[in-house]
Every structure is written in structure tokens, then in C-alpha cells.
Amino acid sequence: MKSRTKVVVIGGGIAGCSTLYHLTREGWTDVVLVERNELTSGTTWHSAAQVTNFGTSQTMIGLKSHSIRLYKELSEDPEFPINYHHGDGGIRLANTEAQMQGYRHFSSMARGMDVHFEVIDAEECARRHPLISTGDLLGGLWDPLDGDIDPAQLCQALVRRARKAGAEVYRNTPVTGLSQHRDDTWTVHTDQGDLDCDIVVNACGYRVNEVGAMMGVQHPVASMEHQYFLTDEIPQIKEAGYRMPLIRCPISDFYCRQEKNGLLVGFYEQACKTWGMDGIDPNFVNALCPDDLDRVMDVLEGAFERLPALREVGVHTVINGPITYTIDGLPLVGPIPGKRNAYCIIGLRAGLGEGGGHGWLLAQQIVHGEACYDTWVLDPRRFTGHANVELTALKAVEDYQNEFRFHFPNEHRSAGRLAKTTVLTPILAAQGAAFTTVNGWERVDYIKPDPAFQLTLGFDFDEAHSVVAAEVRNVQENVGLCEVNGFNRIEITGRDRHRFLDRLICGFVSKREGRLGLGYLLNHFGMIKSEATVANLPASDRGPERVWYGSAAASEYHDRDWLEQHVEPGEDVQIQSLTEAQTILVLAGPNARKVLSSCARGDWSAKAFPWLSVRECFVGFAPATVVGVSFSGELAYEIHVPNTSLYAAYLALQDAGRPFGMQLFGARAVESMRLEKGFLHWKADLLTEFDPFETGLDRFVNLEKEIFIGKDALLGRAVRVRAKGLVTLEIDATRGPAPSGASLMCDSRVVGTITSGAWGHRVQKNLAFAFVDPEFSAIGSSMQLNLCGEPVSARVIAPCPYDPDHSRIRG
Ligand SMILES: Cc1cc2nc3c(=O)[nH]c(=O)nc-3n(C[C@H](O)[C@H](O)[C@H](O)COP(=O)(O)OP(=O)(O)OC[C@H]3O[C@@H](n4cnc5c(N)ncnc54)[C@H](O)[C@@H]3O)c2cc1C
């Protein structure tokens, strides 16, 4: 065993083997994989190993397509061919129109990644899979490239290629400890000796938290027991003379694929079970959990109905093994929060199909600092302080029970709710609030008109449409109040705070005390990393001169890590998170100034406190910091209050607002209003795949600045080629909003992708943002939106269709 290497990948399942191989492909060959037993002796060896293209975001579809391309290439390698049933085809079934609509949407989304699905009716499903019955079936989604692969051969093939490139693999080498040094390098302790390295990667499957604990981290990953069985030969399969397509059934929660001349049938039962919560036997190696077919009886019946041939055939093998889940069902692939030079590729619940793609995106991040797709949907930093293993287990059970039922827009499932609340949560609930969640925080979505009010899940405008319209009207004509909890607020103090931020932000941001500005942070490729409001607070009895850096709630760990990692040695900069300590009450509408003036001393006139000002004050007697910004496009104040005083501030504002008939409003009203104003949302419209020019943020870039991260890359593109441009669209449809990820077409060519869509209640237009090909970005350009299968026309309009000169914000 060598004593030093660049990267140590811990774990030799599909996650580790794929990462190792892709590191060599990206050019790093001095890399090592250590495995406690034999390769694939965790979950990988007994996987059903189905490989599909289906995903609910373009990043997921893209990475799965990479797996399929790679696996095909490996299977055709004359030196080491592996068994891969590529292109058997697969059908995701549906028995409701809403599911069919979803499949049409995901099919539209996949087109943008050059993946071609087909939505077919029940008869066509049965024609393609002659063993299924069509009772209560509406149809399904056909993936022509679906298939399955031999998991052990796949890992061997990846490792073989990695070794050929120079990588080394140490089997029977358990990692027993990890030490990080002052220069952020690591020593990996194993029972075969120590190994120094720059970077460690945790790819330990269900043992993720044993290795996590070695670096003081608890990853939000929990394991579930999962079962499938293998049948004896089924004569119809043998007679068919071709391989049966795969089936995934959200009606009865099972999947099935051909195995030899029989079937492999797997189940997602309601009475499902977590596994390993109290620790894992160190001798659980190449092992299975005891069979428990009684547990799957509920779904077995449904599988028999759908596949009557199953009633006639014997079962010769049952496999029950642990499978890892996270809080939202997607893996954690990327940097480990709060750590340097440490990455993970964990929580893979469909790791055989996805593993090729995950290893590819992770290796790009390790080697280059960023991947070719925006990887936020996989980023381990998307979960923050609330994300413990107990909460994960609750969400894992819920996810397992709904394995093939995708989330509809505006669907907020019930497990693990109330993870992050404020003192106002029950008070707002008593006033009828329906909640959404953002980074675990319960946020008001809208106010229900009556306690029994319920939404129909689907892709069309739902029952809340008119409720949101009324909330917007009240903000436009009068004044509204909205709690925004969990907003990411980082306090930056120290002599060098402005110099530090200047290096991170690509444009000019005011340094004047009492003023604030909006800035964009780029990565080293000049692509959008983050968006922040930067407010300069003067010294006061509440603290020294300081900057308040504010960004999206979801960015809490992401932005904290980026800021902390860019403080230079010797720089006088201190960074402290206030995210959990403060909550914002947003007061918005033409009467907002009057309400504020009647509960907070001081001159709040436009002259004394213009737009983009910040001031400390008291609301009633509650200490508050008022920031003059608006996401709604109306005159608005963000009132930041320490959580200990939040209720007092809320009561003072309610008292002041009563004479004006002030009403509550929620996130859905804000979403409508921000599209009307052309305001972008982090990780919906602001993505690492686009630079600020493509995103239409030219006015926020100052190439005259001496230095900022990403400047060289922006300048390096001497003749700037805009691959895409962000535009505002008016959609010619009243049925539903343009869903994120939907494709825009011209003559059956994909010319753009929707990033956000909502009805603009003030302009009475169906609005969307989209990245489109440059030739479609001019105002007036038209194209077709594939709106859940229905072609509707979409036209580029001027950005900010509501009050474009911001006169209402200035009040
Ligand atoms: C019954 C079943 C059916 C499935 N069917 C499918 C399917 O059809 N399609 C699909 O895509 N996915 C499927 N999956 C899921 C898929 O198999 C997993 O997502 C995948 O195998 C996980 O791979 P991994 O590399 O993350 O974990 P593992 O395969 O568990 O690998 C982790 C490795 O880390 C090693 N390790 C742990 N601790 C240490 C240590 N301290 N030092 C060194 N090494 C260590 C372990 O020994 C192990 O080899 C299925 C899973 C199950 C259980």
C-alpha cells in the first residue's frame, strides 16, 4: 500500500468504483480506492440493477443518460465485455389523468436532454408487454433505453479501467479513522496502515455514518429493507422470443423485469421497515436481511392482478437487502458541508442505474470545482441543521411508500413536518395558513379561505389560484404582511469585510453605511454561484460596523462554505450566521409606509429612507432592522427581528395594520409577483450552467473591477458566445403554469427550457422565465411550449412586465 496519494475513495460499491474511474477520466490518476471487504460486498452485489433514463429534473436525466452511454460502451469492450441488457424498454404505468399529465411533462423535460420518451395508452402498454392486464390502466411512459446490468461485472469493469489508468485498489482494508491536518489534507487510517491524501470521498453505502463519525459528521441517510423475488421460468416469456420490457407500477408499488426466462419482481410495501438504525453488525458483509414476504402481501396482490402469470409460477429466491434513502429521495453527491477537501457520494437508492452518472458529476466537482450540470438537486448542502438521521428515517419511510409516485407541483408531503418553526407558526396556522417548506422551515404558502380547503394535485392551476389572486390584489392596493423565516443572513465583521466581498462579487455594491445593494457571486468559470443582498450597518449598541449578507434560505450551508473558504490568511474578516436567530416580517403595499410609521419611530419618508436603505429601529418595543427592498414590486420593507422578539414585533405590526385592513400573504403570491417583476430565484433561474450575461444580469457585472472570482473566465471568452439567454415569456394558455424543465420547441427542435412559471395576477398574463437559444431571445420571438404534452404558443416579452421603472417600489 502506498503512503500518499491525491484522493482516497472509501467504499468499493458502484458509488466508489464509478468515482474512482471518473477521477482517472478527468485526468487524476494518482488515486486510491479502499474497501473493507471485497468489491461490491455492500448493497451492490444483490441489486436488481435496473438502469433507466427517467428523472424529474434535467440534471437527473442527464446523469442517467451518461450511465447508459457508459454502460453500453463497457458492455461492448472486447477485452472485458459485461452483461448489460440495454434497450429492453420500460413502462411506468398510470391509472390517473394527473399521472399521465406528469409523464407528458417529464417527457417534455427529457427532450431537452436529448432523451426520447413516449407516452402510450393502456392497449399499447399491453402490446409492448403481453403479460400485463389493462384493468384500471390509463397508460404509461415508455423509456426505450431501459434495461438491467450485472452489478459485479460493472464494478469490475470500472475498476479495471481505473487501474489501467494508474489508480490503485486496496481490498480487505477497512478504514478505521480519519485525521485532518492544519493544511486541510487528510490521513486515512486503515487496519493495513495509514494513507495520506489531499481529498477523501465517503462512498460507504449503508455504513456511511460509521465513516461520517470519523470526521464528526452525521449524514442525513437512513436505510430501508427492500425485497424482490425471482420466479421460475414463465412459458409465455420463453415463447415470446424477445425480452420483456421493465415495469414500474405506482398503482400497486412494484417493479418487474425479466431474469432468465422468469421475472424479478420487487416491492415497495406500506408496512416498510428501516434498517440499521441502532448500529450495523460489523460482520454484515455480502449479507442479506431475513426474507419477510408477509410484509409485502398488500402490494403482492396488486402485482398478481397486473401480471396474472405470476399466480401460476413458483418463486425460487427471495432477496431482502438494505437500501439507502435521504430526506428528499435524491442522493448526496458533492462537498460535505462544513468540511474542506471532503466529498460524499451516498444515499443512493437507485445507485446501479445512476451510479455511473453520479461518479461522473462528482469527479468533475473534485477535479474542476464544478460539474457540467448544475448539481444543486444532489448537493449535500441542501440539507442543514434539521437534517438528522431520525428525520431522515421518517422521510425515508414516506418516500419508500411512494417510490414511483412523483411529487406534483405544490405537493408538500406530511412526514417530518415542523422541523423548523418560529413562534408564529401556530399563530399563522390558526389564521388559516397552508404551509410549504423551504430548507426545513415551515413557510406560509397562502391563507386558506376555510379550514376544509384542499387542493387537487396536478399540473393545472389549482383551487388556490383565486385565493392567491386576492392576496396579490391586497398587496397591490393596500398592504400585506408575510413571514419569511430561514432567510439566509450572514453577519460579516472585520476591517477587511468590504475588500473580501469585493473579491467575491462580480459587480459594484455600495459600501456606504445605511445602504445596500444586490450582488452576484461567480465560480471560477464565471458562472453564477450565488446571489446576495449586501447591507452595510453602522456601528451601534447592537454591534460594530458590519455587513449583512442575505441570500436564499436554501443556500445557508452552500453560501457559508463558499464565504468561509475564500477568507485569505491574515484577512480581518469574521463570519457569523444569524439565519436561525432572526426572522423577517415583510410589509408590502402602498400603505406599508403608513403602517411602519405608526409602529416604529423615525422618519420613513422616501427621502429619509429611500429604496435600498437599511436602518436599526424598534417595532413597538421589539428591536428590528428594516431593509428597504422588495421582491413583490410594491413599496416594501423587510423587517428583521431577533426570534426572541418576533411575537412582540408581529403584534405591533398587526395593531398598526388593523386600521388599514392589512392581510397576510404567502409564498405563492410572492412567486406570482416576482415573475411580474423579472426577479430571479436562486437554483430555479440562477444556475451554474450560465454566466451573468446569459442570465441577463449584465448590469450587475463590472469588468473594470481589478479583481473578482470568475473575472478571468469571463474575459477569457474574448468573443463572448452566449449559449443561451434568459427571457421572459408570455404563455398562451390559461389551464396551468409552464412547469420548470418543460421544453420550448420550434419545428420539433428544442430551443429552450422553462426555469420558472406562474400566473401574473397584476398583469393578467401566464408568465415564465426560460433559457432559450440566442436566435429566440429577441422580444417578439415566438416558439411552442410543450405544456404537459399540449403545444401552446410562447412569446418573448420585455423583462419586468409590471411597473418596469420600479416607481411603485420607490413609493
Ligand atoms: C434489493 C435491492 C434492489 C435494488 N435494485 C436496484 C435497481 O434495480 N436499480 C438501481 O439502480 N438500484 C437498485 N438498488 C439500489 C442499489 O443497489 C444501491 O443504490 C447501490 O448498490 C448502492 O451502492 P453504494 O456503492 O452506494 O453502496 P454499497 O454497495 O453498499 O457499497 C459501499 C461499500 O463501502 C464499503 N465500506 C463501508 N465501510 C467501509 C470502511 N470503513 N472502509 C472501507 N470500506 C467500507 C462496503 O464494504 C461496501 O462495499 C437496489 C437495492 C436493493 C437492496
Average pLDDT over residues 519-538: 98
CA of 78 to the centre of ligand 1 (A): 27
Closest CA to 758 of 668, 686, 657, 677: 668
Q: How do residues 70-83 score in pLDDT, each as one tens digit?
A: 999 999 999 999 99
- What is the mean pLDDT of the segment spanning 300-323? 97
Ligand 1 atom 52 nearest Cα = 47
Q: Are 776 and 746 in contact (CB under 8 A)?
A: yes
* List of residues 6+ apart from 680 with CB closer than 8 A: 531, 686, 695, 726, 769
The residue whose C-alpha atom lies closest to atom 26 belonging to ligand 1 is 205
- What's the 90 CA to ligand 1 centre distance in angstroms? 23
What is the distance in A from the centroid of ligand 1 to the CA of 321? 10
Question: pTM score, two decimals?
Answer: 0.98
| Better-predicted residue by pLDDT, 717 or 142 | 142
pLDDT of residue 217: 97
Q: What is the pLDDT of residue 48?
A: 98
Tell which residue, 756, 750, 747, has the closest CA to residue 727: 756
Contact 96, 138 (CB under 8 A): yes
CA angle 132, 136, 142 (to 5 degrees): 55
pLDDT at 707: 96
Expressed in angstroms and rounded, the spacing between residue 347 Cα and the centre of ligand 1 is 9
3-state secondary structure of 173: coil
Nearest residue CA, atom 50 of ligand 1?
47
Residue 368 has pLDDT above 60, yes or no: yes
CA 468 vs. chain centroid, Å, equals 25
Residue 653, SS3?
helix
Residue type, 455: L
Residue 642 CA to ligand 1 centre (angstroms) = 44
Eight-class DSSP state of 451 = T
Distance 248 CA to ligand 1 centre (A): 21
Asked if 522 and 514 touch (Cβ cutoff 8 Å), the reply is no
Question: Are the beta carbons of 166 and 154 closer than 8 angstroms?
Answer: no
Average pLDDT on 370-381 reads 98
Q: Do 369 and 384 meet the contact criterion of CB atoms below 8 Å apart?
A: no
8 Å CB contact between 276 and 206: yes
- Are 325 and 395 within 8 A, CB to CB? yes
The residue nearest atom 13 of ligand 1, judged by CA position, is 350
Q: Is the CB of 87 under 6 A from ligand 1?
A: no
Atom of ligand 1 nearest to the CA of 324: 19
Planar angle of CA 125, 126, 132, nearest 5 degrees = 110
Question: Stretch 541-553: mean pLDDT, rounded?
Answer: 97
Ligand 1: centre distance to CA 76 (Å): 24
Mean pLDDT to the nearest integer, 684-703: 96
Closest residue CA from atom 7 of ligand 1: 49
Please tell me if the CB atom of residue 89 comes closer than 6 angstroms to any atom of ligand 1. no
For residues 255-261, average pLDDT: 97
Mean pLDDT of the chain: 97
Would you state the pLDDT for residue 10?
A: 99
Cα–Cα distance, 707 to 718 (Å, whole number): 17
Residue nearest to atom 4 of ligand 1 (CA): 47
* Ligand 1 contact via 535 beta carbon (within 6 Å): no
Q: Which of 441, 497, 436, 442 is nearest to 468 (CA)?
A: 436
Query: What is the mean pLDDT of the segment spanning 763-786?
Result: 97
Give residue 720's pLDDT band: very low, low, confident or very high (50, 70, 90).
Answer: low
Q: Find out whether the beta carbon of 578 lies less than 6 Å from any atom of ligand 1.
A: no
* φ and ψ of 744, to 5 deg: -105, 135
CB 743 within 8 A of CB 752: yes
Bridge partners, 750 (sequence order): 745
- The pLDDT-based confidence of 717 (bands split at 50, 70, 90) is confident
Residue pointed to by grid coordinates 405544490: 410
Cα of 752 from ligand 1 centre, angstroms: 37
Per-residue pLDDT reduced to its tens digit, 637-664: 999 999 999 999 999 999 999 999 999 9
β-strand 743-746 against 782-787: which pairing, if any?
A: antiparallel
Q: Note the pLDDT of residue 723.
A: 83
Compute the distance from residue 220 Cα to the ligand 1 centre, in Å. Answer: 16
Q: Is the CB of 620 under 6 A from ligand 1?
A: no
Q: 378: Cβ below 6 Å to ligand 1? A: no
Q: Is 296 in the pocket of ligand 1 (CB under 6 A)?
A: no
Residue closest via CA to ligand 1's atom 41 equals: 175
- For residues 382 and 380, give the distance between their C-alpha atoms in angstroms, rounded to a whole number: 5
Q: Using an 8 Å Cβ cutoff, are 650 and 599 in contact?
A: no
- Distance between CA atoms of residues 181 and 557, nearest Å: 22
Residue 93 pairs with which residues in a beta bridge?
140
Whether residue 36 has its Cβ less than 6 Å from ligand 1: yes
CA distance 241 to 127: 14
- Please give the helix or strand (H or E) that residue 302 lies within, else none: helix 297-306
Per-residue pLDDT at 722: 75
- The residue whose CB lies within 8 Å of the most ligand 1 atoms, and thus the one to mutate among 148, 207, 268, is 207
Helix (H/G/I), strand (E/B), else coil: 287 = coil
Q: Is the CB of 246 under 6 A from ligand 1?
A: no
pLDDT reading at 307 higher than 90: yes
Percent of the chain topping pLDDT 90: 99
In sign, the C-alpha dihedral spanning 409, 411, 415, 419 is positive
Q: What is the rounded CA–CA span in Å between residue 652 and residue 647?
A: 9
Instruction: Find out whether 170 and 32 touch, Cβ atoms under 8 Å.
Output: yes
> Residue 470: helix, strand or coil by DSSP?
helix
Ligand 1 pocket member 351 (CB < 6 A): yes
Whether the pLDDT of residue 806 is over 70: the answer is: yes
In the numeric block, which cell numbers belong to residue 332? 448526496
| 43 Cβ below 6 A of ligand 1 | yes
Question: Which three cell numbers mark 31?
Answer: 488515486
What is the Cα Rg of the chain in Å? 27
Length of the chain: 811
For residues 552-556, give the mean pLDDT. 96
How far does residue 14's CA lie from ligand 1's centre (Å)? 7
Confidence check: pLDDT of 175 > 80: yes
| Contact criterion met (CB below 8 Å) for 85 and 93 | no
Which residue in this structure is represented by grid cell 459587480? 507
Categorize the per-residue pLDDT at 719 as very low, low, confident or very high, splitting at 50, 70 and 90: low
